Structure 1
């Protein structure tokens, strides 16, 4: 999980050489005089000065943003002193309208500072970072005035569902980390109090969630309303304390007692107050349909699409057409497979992969992908299971992004809830592990990008990549009939694409539940009321969530198909994957021009 915060190219000499070669091609009446060494040094100094200033700007930005929240601080960097940071922010942040307005002013100031740079004077890497930051700023500024449309509390991916997991994974490197952890956990009631004040403002503006959505949030809160000594936060805390070597047994026992006290006096009251506050506001949410039924709902949906997908498509209409095109492509592929290989239909309800245990699956994936993906540096992973009390309120699986200076240590969670028993663990771990989230993050962080890029959140790149490789994993030597693997990949893509399409229909076009049910029944033979209700409620609670996955997958597929079409026999899948991994998390509006440059270089090299 990445917090959505402010969220080796050629150097100057190479650029000078390329410019010189281009100039030499133009006809001239007489050759120009060679620049003097003094002139060259002056030109060189201006570029170096601009590059140093840009580094200073991004370093200052990183230090500022990382200091806004103690959780972000700890999960972003394991050794703060290496970046000159010696003060841990003992706060979970400021969730208020005032802070949001202040953030808008800061974005405007940052935009002004960025526009003061001449991009030609920056290195390739700095220029790319500049473009990413500029795109990010423009997107976030488009939400000015729409702050109350934000949804901090939602089932599964809301703050109240995910924050405790982050606390349970808060690493204890030294006793100082234990003190910081307890101090941060002690502020959770105040932090949730801020969120409830925000929800009250939403209610006053007529923007509070529907009672159905509120019920779902209340259910997620119930999982944390248990005795402190029976809480998974007590269990995980004790395990981390016992692993420390710089504490005496007496000190460890004292810390364990203090943790139980903080859970009793702050954590559990935080969830009780949250539940009480939500209950008191129930009935004030008058809209039980999609975003478009709010006064500025369409405008906010457009912002969410830009922010969460970073799509290269310029309008919702053009994006919808692209989704329809990809959906039809996958549906046609299914039809072709079943026509040519009808026997695969008999195996749909009874198939199995070679490996079924997490460790075996991940190790087999590491081997199976070696031909199509670049090699990773050494790293490790730990597979954990979601605590049983949280199974009903969390995703089927998830990966925790490691600190930028400790990418070697990775954690994957699997949800053992029976409702996920039909999920294919092999492809799920391809999504979360190799060559999915774990692989992509380790690769990116090992290349030591600009620190600010580790804070930027571009979920559609990350989830699009993980979805793309998840579908890819169906076609590996995994125990499946190859044609069955292709069928399952296309079928899963259709399901995800359907959710993305309905997301637009419900939250932008204004479809109600009856229209949604009619569409699902007519085109997909889905007529069970409980399934329709589940889909409809999920898309209302989490607008653009499924689009993050599908639009990212779709953008990658478009680049892949373009590469194959243009490069033909010279196309190399490993080279394509290396390009996407080298680019790293970014909006597709920035990635697409970089892709065209890469494609042109591939053509020239062949």
Structure 2
């Protein structure tokens, strides 16, 4: 099982915001103030989204910094460095969401441009969905062994770019703010504990182990070396300034950050035993409804769960039939596959260049794009994905950074398709293509995980095709196709297990019985699958159901006009609409 299913590439923009969008600007803002003489409907709408963007992007410093390299150019200044807080005040948030929906509906969609229509529909659907999530605020879990705040925060801070000297000060203040932020999270976890909604002891153990891994050797913590490297690259700083800043940084790390992680470990320990054993959301009050909300908000798909499950089973049957057909045509294929036929060793940079060359016939041209390959620090290897992409600020469009986890036990073919997922024609390519269209900045604040991760999973199927040219095998295309089908079947099984655990209430034994039918019998592997899915509800579906939606859209377009269908043009249309929930994508495609 690949553990590439990290949200780091998208979540960095909002991981540390309050539980729900603050939207406090709505208290003093009305459509009336925009309806003066000379304003077109498009002008009024863009003024509205501009104010929304400015207010929301300022919610915390990480959101602001990772979204904008130069906030002052957008009229944003004087922000105090802060990581934000957890907020469970659902009454005020509900009122603000409803107020916001009312104001959005006041715009005449027939007088808006196509792009503004897309933005309006996306925001309307987003806030309708958020209202559903407000019913069960204590089922949210900000912590987690690999996808939690405490696991991603070191990487986000280590990658905090220094565009100007003020950024250094803000970064140091953010480090100093970690104790306060973790205390706020502990208070939230205390409330969850009191309501009987605390995490399982098994999940607690894994979170504590991740925290201990990060702090076990403070004097050689990777944040120290990365900070020093970034300072070295700043020519405006004197050597004396760099020495002083490195000393200050070390003091904050030793006196603030490390103790904060230890306090988080100790604070969580106080709640041990107050949660349930590892189980799905359906076992909690309101859990089934919350799961339905998660599927909408994370996958961008709005069909009933039963219909999603039916689509998964259909794909499972289709992929299994194709595997059988391949095996019948090529009797030795399964044997060769079992032997582990692989790609020759290919450096990540060369693999990305090769992918860019191969994709020209299937995807629209992007032009020159710079990117960097970096490697996960050893202290974080156990808890981070095999690879992930960090998106750049929208006003600079760089740097584009792909991280590779060298501890991940992947084959060369798996690494190749992983680089396609994170790079070309995956996340990096999709992000850069859309950004070059200069979309409304507010679009950058609303995550469309099903589109983003679904697209990156969808393009992997092309990467398997491209990889065939590198394999020394008489039927390389069939071999890579078989590998792609196996990948699809595994993701489909995990998605079905996700629904089984969180919607149907499967126990670990029921999960084991289901997986046994598909040859997954190793007790340790089954236990790991069950534990991971209980900790990250809906995560697999974001990737796989998103992928299936792109497959279905392509099939519909081909059937509608098979003779005129152009694959590159289809991909261009999808990319131009950009990340949106699938009902919006289908409407405008």
TM-score between the two structures when normalised by the length of structure 2: 0.92
- Supply the distance in 1 between the matched residues of 2:125 and 2:379 (Cα, whole angstroms): 40
The residue aligned with 1:327 is 316
The CA deviation string for residues 82-139 of structure 1, in whole angstroms up to 9 with x for no partner, is 21112234111111323x5543332222112101111111111111100000000000
Correspondence for 1:524 among 510, 518, 526? 518
1:64 aligns with 2:58: no
Q: What are the within-5 Å matches in structure 2 for residues 67-106 of structure 1?
A: 67-98=58-89, 101-106=91-96
The residue aligned with 2:493 is 498
1:73–1:88: 8 Å Cα contact kept in structure 2? no
CA-CA distance at 1:49 after TM superposition: 2.6
2:346–2:412: 8 Å Cα contact kept in structure 1? no
Structure 2 residue matching 1:97: 3-state secondary structure: coil
The residue aligned with 1:20 is none
Question: Which structure 2 segments of 5+ residues have no match?
Answer: 1-8, 22-35
Q: What are the within-5 Å matches in structure 2 for residues 500-579 of structure 1?
A: 500-521=495-516, 523-579=517-573
The residue aligned with 1:440 is 430
CA-CA distance at 1:286 after TM superposition: 2.1
- Supply the distance in 2 between the matched residues of 1:422 and 1:497 (Cα, whole angstroms): 23
The CA deviation string for residues 552-590 of structure 1, in whole angstroms up to 9 with x for no partner, is 000000011112222212111101110110111100011
The CA deviation string for residues 332-382 of structure 1, in whole angstroms up to 9 with x for no partner, is 111111111222223213322255210110010010001111111322111
The residue aligned with 2:347 is 357
The residue aligned with 1:109 is 99
Distance 1:267 1:188, change over 3 A: same
- Supply the distance in 1 between the matched residues of 2:410 and 2:181 (Cα, whole angstroms): 32
- Supply the distance in 1 between the matched residues of 2:330 and 2:570 (Cα, whole angstroms): 30
Correspondence for 2:588 among 583, 589, 594? 594
The residue aligned with 1:310 is 300
The CA deviation string for residues 25-82 of structure 1, in whole angstroms up to 9 with x for no partner, is xxxxxxxxxxxxxxxxxxxx98953221111110011011111110010000111122
Distance 1:486 1:218, change over 3 A: same
CA-CA distance at 1:510 after TM superposition: 0.4
The CA deviation string for residues 177-223 of structure 1, in whole angstroms up to 9 with x for no partner, is 11110011110110011111000101111100111111111111112
Distance 1:281 1:478, change over 3 A: farther
CA-CA distance at 1:418 after TM superposition: 4.7
Distance 1:47 1:305, change over 3 A: farther
Structure 1 residue matching 2:402: 3-state secondary structure: strand
The residue aligned with 2:28 is none
The residue aligned with 2:136 is 146
2:154–2:223: 8 Å Cα contact kept in structure 1? yes
2:448–2:581: 8 Å Cα contact kept in structure 1? yes
2:119–2:443: 8 Å Cα contact kept in structure 1? yes
Structure 2 residue matching 1:281: 3-state secondary structure: coil
CA-CA distance at 1:435 after TM superposition: 0.3
Aligned residues: 556
The residue aligned with 2:176 is 186
State the structure with more CA Rg. Answer: 1
2:342–2:413: 8 Å Cα contact kept in structure 1? no
CA-CA distance at 1:473 after TM superposition: 0.6
Q: What are the within-5 Å matches in structure 2 for residues 356-395 of structure 1?
A: 356-395=346-385
2:201–2:277: 8 Å Cα contact kept in structure 1? no
Structure 1 residue matching 2:373: 3-state secondary structure: strand
RMSD: 1.7
- Supply the distance in 2 between the matched residues of 1:422 and 1:576 (Cα, whole angstroms): 30
The residue aligned with 2:259 is 269
- Supply the distance in 2 between the matched residues of 1:47 and 1:551 (Cα, whole angstroms): 45
- Supply the distance in 2 between the matched residues of 1:165 and 1:401 (Cα, whole angstroms): 13
Question: Which structure 1 segments of 5+ residues have no match?
Answer: 8-44, 596-606
Distance 1:354 1:227, change over 3 A: closer
2:41–2:111: 8 Å Cα contact kept in structure 1? yes
- Supply the distance in 1 between the matched residues of 2:184 and 2:469 (Cα, whole angstroms): 49
Q: What are the within-5 Å matches in structure 2 for residues 423-438 of structure 1?
A: 424-438=414-428
2:300–2:450: 8 Å Cα contact kept in structure 1? yes
- Supply the distance in 2 between the matched residues of 1:151 and 1:47 (Cα, whole angstroms): 47
CA-CA distance at 1:459 after TM superposition: 0.8
- Supply the distance in 1 between the matched residues of 2:294 and 2:181 (Cα, whole angstroms): 24
1:356–1:425: 8 Å Cα contact kept in structure 2? no
The residue aligned with 1:259 is 249
- Supply the distance in 2 between the matched residues of 1:428 and 1:72 (Cα, whole angstroms): 26
The residue aligned with 1:580 is 574
Structure 2 residue matching 1:399: 3-state secondary structure: strand
